Amino acid sequence: MATRLPGTDVVIVGLGAAGGVAALPLADAGLDVVGLEAGGRLTRRDFAPDELRNNMRGWPFSVQKCAQEVPTLRRSRSDTAVQGNGHPMMNAVGGTTLHYWAQSWRLNPWDFRVVSATTERYGSSRIPEGSTVEDWPFGYEELEPYYDRVEHEIGVSGQAGNVNGRPDPRGNPFEGARAREYPMPALRWTGFLYRMASSARSLGWQPFPGPAAINSRPYQGRSGCMYHGFCNRGGCHVDAKNSPAVTTIPRAEATGRLTVVTHAHVRRVETDNQGKVTGVTYVQGREEFFQPARFVLLASYTYENVRLLLMSKARAYPIGLSNNHAQVGRHYLSHHQGAGVTALFPSDLHAWYGLPAQGVAVDDWADDNFDHGALDFIGGGNLWVYSDRRPIAAAGMNTFGLAPTWGSAWKAFVRDNADRTNSAYIQKTTLPYDSNYMDLDPIVTDPLGDPVIRITAEYKQNELAVADFLQDKMERWYLEAGAIKVTRGGLGGQMGVSTHAYGGTRMGDNAETNVVNRYGLSHEVPNLGILGASVMGTSGARNPTLTAQALAWRTAAHLASNWRSIVE
């Protein structure tokens, strides 16, 4: 029997990027919040600059929850799903923001209205067949104040391109208008990044520094970035990476309203016979607890949000909580981040000390920033060239067919070339399709016996065409900057377990096709809300987290200001 704990106003399941942000506006409004977090607390002393541990051995997730519930994968309904190799998300207070890259993008205005913008410019026939894409229930302008709030609350460095409609040529000419500048200037550039920016300009493109939830100078009493080169899958040793673990969570705890419970693995959301949620059941060690709550917010990342809903069947929700319209798990997409391009340069790039959020971006080929009239796809990609290099991976470099992969000739090759390659990160428009979805795997379970998520999904023609088009652009850019060899990754096929997993609990006004409403609250369950990219219906051409955090803040603020009418 589960031990029944004293009740609370709100329980948040998962204190990562989204849940860790939502806790603050709730606590500030005077609501009592319990944050249930499957992982423990890590501090900056846990974050050694150790490539073997962080990047080769998969610390810190190898012994943790995510690794034991890796989704199974298959391309289509007729295939057998096979469990993926790993799951790079983090289980700890702060979630994956502890070791993420911290690129902190706003979506561009087009991403909110893919259907209507495409239809207006090219006609409705240009929406790819089988896609279930919808416009968001609101436009970029609605989210702007929340982007602004989160950028200042956690600290984001960057260069504005459009402040209140006033263009700034140093920033992104395609971004939506922002109310004010970033709270900190962009991270510094290396000589190589300056060179790439000037090559982009010679091509007539408009390069700019990308935004990062990383301090470019001391902010809120925390250090500026030390550029030591171990940021990618490593936590920050000086707390310059602005995870909720060092920003919103401690601030919410300081109000006295947030109680953080670590090592609490939630397995089920409980429901009464009227269809209201009553709280959640979790295990901690070998003990089971029931945490009653007047409102439940799921913030356990896309796969776990969907899994918890599908596992929490009840009389009122026979095929899963909030799933009476059979939309939980639908409109899924793994962001297309593959199909990279790698270049070899004739001289050293000096990339040993840097971080993947330090770089130069080009948005000229993203979204609908260029004419698609004569093209066979919609959307595009963001080109991102960044600084990131560590010795084991550098020695394991692609030899571009210029040397064998071992022996003396190889040794001579890596001696000269270990610091001469660069790989671009190209994030691309990825659409939801009717045949891409998540459900519970019928066979594979985690150690507690709960089924894992099964992903049935593949990239379609539109994604492959975007990938090919963007590789051409990237190759041109590298050659313009003097690269002597360029190679391209495959265009992609089956969708994998993703760090950018969208959909499954999509947000929209229509309850027939969406799980949550425009505020992130369930269409069916009166006292349940969902946070994270699982509510997003489009990906844009950039990382999801800042958008998920702005949405989380908005949901929490809506809940706090309408508390009585929502829970009573």
Ligand X SMILES: Cc1cc2nc3c(=O)[nH]c(=O)nc-3n(C[C@H](O)[C@H](O)[C@H](O)COP(=O)(O)OP(=O)(O)OC[C@H]3O[C@@H](n4cnc5c(N)ncnc54)[C@H](O)[C@@H]3O)c2cc1C
Task: Rule CB under 8 A: say whether 409 interacts with other proteins.
Answer: yes
Task: Rule CB under 6 A: say whether 91 interacts with ligand X.
Answer: yes
Residues between 299 and 338 with contacts to other proteins, criterion CB under 8 A? none
Contacts of 543 (CB under 8 A, 6+ apart): 101, 103, 104, 105, 427, 500
> How many positions of this chain bind other proteins (CB under 8 A)?
67
Which of 371, 406, 449, 565: binder of other proteins (CB under 8 A)?
A: 406
Toward ligand X, which CB reaches closer, 114 or 357? 357
H-only helix segments in 14-170: 17-28, 51, 114-122, 140-150
Q: In angstroms, what is the minimal distance from the CB of 560 to other proteins?
A: 24
* Among ligand X, other proteins, none, residue 499 binds (CB under 5-8 Å by kind): ligand X
Task: Rule CB under 8 A: say whether 60 interacts with other proteins.
Answer: yes
CA distances (Å), origin 351, targets 37, 118, 166: 36, 40, 34
Amino acid at position 410, single letter: W
* Among ligand X, other proteins, none, residue 287 binds (CB under 5-8 Å by kind): other proteins
Q: In angstroms, what is the minimal distance from the CB of 406 to other proteins?
A: 4
Q: Phi first, then psi: what are they for 351, rounded to 5°?
A: -100, 10
Amino acid at position 181, single letter: E
* Among other proteins, ligand X, none, residue 36 binds (CB under 5-8 Å by kind): ligand X
Contacts of 129 (CB under 8 A, 6+ apart): none
Stretch that binds ligand X, among 90-98, 320-328, 396-404, 502-510 (CB under 6 A): 90-98
- Using alpha carbons, select from 236, 289, 246 the residue that is nearest to residue 266: 289
Stretch that binds ligand X, among 126-134, 293-301, 424-432, 559-567 (CB under 6 A): 293-301
Q: Which two tokens stand for residue 319?
A: 């095929």
H-only helix segments in 323-460: 391-395, 408-417
- Using alpha carbons, select from 384, 418, 386 the residue that is nearest to residue 400: 418
Contact 124, 563 (CB under 8 A): no
* Among ligand X, other proteins, none, residue 304 binds (CB under 5-8 Å by kind): ligand X
Task: Rule CB under 6 A: say whether 540 interacts with ligand X.
Answer: no
User: Would you give the DSSP letter of residue 211?
Assistant: P
Residues between 133 and 192 with contacts to other proteins, criterion CB under 8 A? 188, 190-191
Task: Rule CB under 6 A: say whether 18 interacts with ligand X.
Answer: yes
CA–CA gap between residue 180 and residue 160 (Å, rounded): 8
Stretch that binds ligand X, among 100-108, 191-199, 252-260, 400-408 (CB under 6 A): 100-108
Looking up tokens 């639908």, which residue turns up? 330
Q: In angstroms, what is the minimal distance from the CB of 130 to ligand X?
A: 26
Toward ligand X, which CB reaches closer, 275 or 532? 532
* Among ligand X, other proteins, none, residue 95 binds (CB under 5-8 Å by kind): ligand X
Residue 83, classified by CB atoms within 10 Å of its CB into exposed (0-12), middle (13-18) or buried (19+), is: middle
CA diameter of the chain:
75
Task: Rule CB under 8 A: say whether 281 interacts with other proteins.
Answer: no
Toward other proteins, which CB reaches closer, 397 or 497? 397
Helix axes 545-561, 140-150, angle to 10 degrees: 90
Helix axes 17-28, 545-561, angle to 10 degrees: 30
Cα 235 to the center of its chain, rounded Å: 17
Task: Rule CB under 6 A: say whether 548 interacts with ligand X.
Answer: yes
Task: Rule CB under 8 A: say whether 7 interacts with other proteins.
Answer: no
- Using alpha carbons, select from 413, 407, 375, 372 the residue that is nearest to residue 395: 413
CA atoms within 13 A on the CB side of 477: 33
Which of 136, 345, 413, 437: binder of other proteins (CB under 8 A)?
A: 413
Task: Rule CB under 6 A: say whether 544 interacts with ligand X.
Answer: yes
Looking up tokens 């016996």, which residue turns up? 449
Task: Rule CB under 8 A: say whether 41 interacts with other proteins.
Answer: yes
Task: Rule CB under 8 A: say whether 260 interacts with other proteins.
Answer: yes
Q: Which residues pair with 256 in a beta bridge?
A: none
The residue number whose beta carbon is nearest to ligand X equals: 16
* Among other proteins, ligand X, none, residue 16 binds (CB under 5-8 Å by kind): ligand X
| DSSP count for the chain of H helices, then E strands | 12, 22
Task: Rule CB under 6 A: say whether 17 interacts with ligand X.
Answer: yes
Q: In angstroms, what is the minimal distance from the CB of 52 to other proteins?
A: 5
Which of 51, 239, 304, 364: binder of ligand X (CB under 6 A)?
A: 304
Toward ligand X, which CB reaches closer, 195 or 263? 263
* Among ligand X, other proteins, none, residue 102 binds (CB under 5-8 Å by kind): ligand X
CA distances (Å), origin 139, targets 116, 131, 145: 11, 20, 12
Residues between 23 and 82 with contacts to ligand X, criterion CB under 6 A? 36-39
Residues between 495 and 514 with contacts to ligand X, criterion CB under 6 A? 499-500
- Sites of contact with other proteins (CB under 8 A): 3, 5, 39-42, 45-53, 56-57, 59-60, 64, 92-93, 188, 190-191, 226-229, 237-238, 259-263, 284-285, 287, 289, 348, 350, 352-353, 391-392, 394-396, 402-419
